[in-house]
Amino acid sequence: MRLLITSISIFFLSSFSLSYGQDICPGADVEIATLSFSYTPADLTVEAGTTVGWVNFGGNHDVNGITNSITDVAFNNPEPFSLGSMFGNASGVCLGTFTFTVPGVYDYDCSIGSHAANGMVASITVSASVIGCTNADACNYDQTATEDDESCLFIGDACDDGNADTESDVIQDDCSCEGSIISSVDNFEALSVLIFPNPATSELNITLNKKSTLKVFDALGKLVLETGSVSNWLLDVSVWEKGLYTLQTEAGKTYKFIVE
């Protein structure tokens, strides 16, 4: 059921037997009443994507969002809109609808005769949709969001705390993300490393079954190269000095490889 927004006086309500919620303009989300020298409401705020309909309850009126009928200066609305003139009646006649998709302020008037000069002017403010979590019970609830993006996180949901030393990360009662610490012994026993080719002459590929930070030392124990937490590391060893090198994992386990 659409909403006909109007504040027409009791006299007119009695005379024309108007009521709220008449679906006079098919497809309209909001309907504006036109009568005498007014649009009601004269100032309306809607979200982008809203379809507005204008219902004429008497007289000959139009909707002009192109050029100001009083000053003859272009309205310069975010996008032009207009509806042709039509006579109304007590039951209401739909002048037409327009779907506002571009945010901004839209000014318009009635260009029939001196209607605009007699006060038949109005504006519609179109606000942009804000994407986010709209569930107030969620940890990441965004009170400014107008459209839900299915990103809501709740206590007990799985998450990633960004720590390679934890597992089974979940959202806690205070909405923080935490996991259980993996002991260094577990890391040591669970981690497997594949180094190939070995010996290597140009490229060396290091593959792990779980992420770990890695360091490479030369035969003298000097740190040659290191990386953050990875599960695969491709090294260009074509310019390295020939010899024996040691790969050390985050858990301290070491592996040897040769550069020829």
* Identity of the residue numbered 77: N
Q: 60 and 13, same structural domain?
A: yes
Q: 111 and 21, same structural domain?
A: yes
pLDDT tens for each residue of 71-118: 999 999 999 999 999 999 999 999 999 999 999 999 999 999 999 999
Q: 52 and 33, same structural domain?
A: yes
Domain harbouring 208, CATH code: 2.60.40.10
DSSP-derived letter for residue 189 is H
* Residue 20, pLDDT above cutoff 50: no
- How many domains, in total, are found in the chain? 3
More confident position, 16 or 221: 221
Please identify, among 110, 127, 144, the residue that sits at the C-terminal boundary of a domain. 127
Strands 30-35 and 38-40: antiparallel
Domain harbouring 48, CATH code: 2.60.40.420
Residues 229-244: what's their mean pLDDT? Answer: 94
* Residue 12, pLDDT above cutoff 90: no
Radius of gyration of the chain (CA): 35
Q: 107 and 17, same structural domain?
A: yes
The model's pTM: 0.50
Cα 85 from Cα 71, distance rounded (Å): 20
Give the pLDDT confidence score for residue 15 in this predicted structure.
Answer: 33
Give the pLDDT confidence score for residue 6 in this predicted structure.
Answer: 37
* Residue 30, pLDDT above cutoff 70: yes
pLDDT tens for each residue of 160-209: 988 888 888 999 999 999 998 875 544 445 678 999 999 999 999 999 98
pLDDT tens for each residue of 111-143: 999 999 999 999 999 998 888 999 999 999 998
Structure tokens at 85: 């003139």
Domain that residue 166 falls in? 130-182
Q: 42 and 107, same structural domain?
A: yes
* Residue 9, pLDDT above cutoff 50: no
CA 203 distance to own-chain centroid: 43
Q: 121 and 25, same structural domain?
A: yes
Q: 123 and 8, same structural domain?
A: yes
pLDDT tens for each residue of 220-236: 999 999 999 999 999 99
pLDDT tens for each residue of 59-68: 999 999 999 9
Q: 109 and 38, same structural domain?
A: yes
Q: 17 and 109, same structural domain?
A: yes
Cα 33 from Cα 45, distance rounded (Å): 15
* Residue 53, pLDDT above cutoff 70: yes
Q: 215 and 162, same structural domain?
A: no
